[in-house]
Amino acid sequence: MPSQNAIDMVQKLYVSYYGRPADSAGLTYWSSRIDEGDLFSAINAFGNSDEYNQNFGALSHDDLIQNLYKQMFGREADQAGLKYYIEVLSSGQSTLAQIALNISEGAINDDLKVIDNRLEVANEFTRKFGNYQGEESIKAAQSMLLDVGSSYLSWMEINSIVDEAIETGRFSFGGDDSMVPPPPPWVELSSNFGGAAIQWATPSDEYETHLITNIYRDTDSSFEGAEQIGSSLSWGYYDEMPQTAYGEEFYYWVTYVSSSGVEGPVQNGNPVYAVIRPKIGEIIEDISSEIDSSELANSLATPIEIIGLQATF
C-alpha cells in the first residue's frame, strides 16, 4: 500500500501536469514508484507519456508554462514567473513535470485556495470513479476541474461537483463491465424526521465498475412490489415525505448498478424500516403553539390588577 505522502504528491502531479484527477491504477503505480525512493526518476517518467505527447507535445515552452498555471490556478502566468520557468525549461535545468510540482508547491493566497480546492475535488473523483478511462473521459474530467475556483467548498459541494460531472460528462469506465454487482453489505437509517435518510456501504475494491445506487421503497416488507424512488451517485439518500405520511411505515432497499447498467441484488439482510416522524422544526413549532394557547400562558399574559391595596404605616 503506497504511503499517503506519495499518494498526495501523485494526485498533485496529475492535477498540475495533466489537469485531471488521477485514475486509480495510475495513482497506485506512481505512488509506489515514489515510495521506492527514486523520486526524480519517477517524476520524470511520469511526465513522459503518450497522454502528454498527444495533448501537449506540440506546444511551445511559453504555452506549456501558461497551461500549467491554467490547470493549477485558473489564470495566466505572471510575466516574471513565465520568463523564469521558460528559461529553466529551455536550458534543461528542470523537466516540465518538475516545474509543475515546483509551481504547485509554491502556491500562496488565492492560488493556494484554487489548487487545494481542485485537489479536494480530484481526490473525491478518484475515490468514487477512479476507473474512468478514454480520451472523452479525460476531457470531461479536465473540464470539471477548470470550473473549480478559490471559494470555500463544503464536503457536500465537492460531492455535488463530482456527481454533476458524471451525470453530464461523457465518461467510460474500465474493469469487467459484465460483472454483476454484489449486494450492498449494509444499509441503515440515519434519520426519520420529515422523511427517511438512509446510507449504505461503499462498494468493495473488487467491484470496480460501480456507477450509481438505486433506491427502492414499499409499505410492505417484501421487495417484490417495491417501487424505485431514485438513484444516487453518493452513499446516501433522503426520501422527503409530505405531512400526510407522518406516522406511516416504510421499507427501503438499495442496489448497486455498474457503468454498463448491470444492476445487482438488494442489500444483505432485512430492508431498512422507518416510521416517519415530523421534522424537528415542526415539532418545536407545535410545542410552542400549544404553550401559547395553554391556560397557564393565558393567565401569565393577563395583567395583574391590584384592587383596594392600602399601605399601612
Q: What is residue 295's predicted lDDT score, i.e. its pLDDT?
A: 61
- Record the cell numbers describing residue 265, joined without a space: 441484488
Is residue 181, in this structure, part of any structural domain at all? Answer: no
Is residue 303, in this structure, part of any structural domain at all? Answer: no
Q: How many domains does the chain have?
A: 2
Q: Are residues 167 and 276 in the same domain?
A: no
pTM (two decimals):
0.65
Phi-psi category of 257—alpha, beta or left, where left has phi over 0 and alpha has psi -120 to 50?
Answer: beta
Mean pLDDT is lowest, of 161-165, 220-224, 295-299, for 295-299
Range of the domain at 202: 187-292
Q: Are strands 272-275 and 236-240 parallel, antiparallel or unpaired?
A: unpaired
Q: Are residues 218 and 115 in the same domain?
A: no
What percent of the chain is modeled with pLDDT above 70?
A: 88
HSE toward the beta carbon, residue 115, CA cutoff 13 A: 28
Residue 134: pLDDT over 80: yes
Condensed to tens digits (0 to 9), the pLDDT of residues 30-45 reads 999 899 887 778 888 8
Q: Are residues 210 and 129 in the same domain?
A: no
* CA-only gyration radius of the chain, Å: 28
Compute φ and ψ for 256, nearest 5 degrees. Answer: -85, 145
Q: Are residues 197 and 237 in the same domain?
A: yes
Condensed to tens digits (0 to 9), the pLDDT of residues 111-124 reads 999 999 999 999 99
Q: Are residues 54 and 164 in the same domain?
A: yes
- Record the cell numbers describing residue 34, joined without a space: 515514489
Is residue 313, in this structure, part of any structural domain at all? Answer: no
Compute φ and ψ for 157, nearest 5 degrees. Answer: -70, -40
Q: Are residues 53 and 125 in the same domain?
A: yes
Q: Are strands 172-173 and 132-133 parallel, antiparallel or unpaired?
A: antiparallel
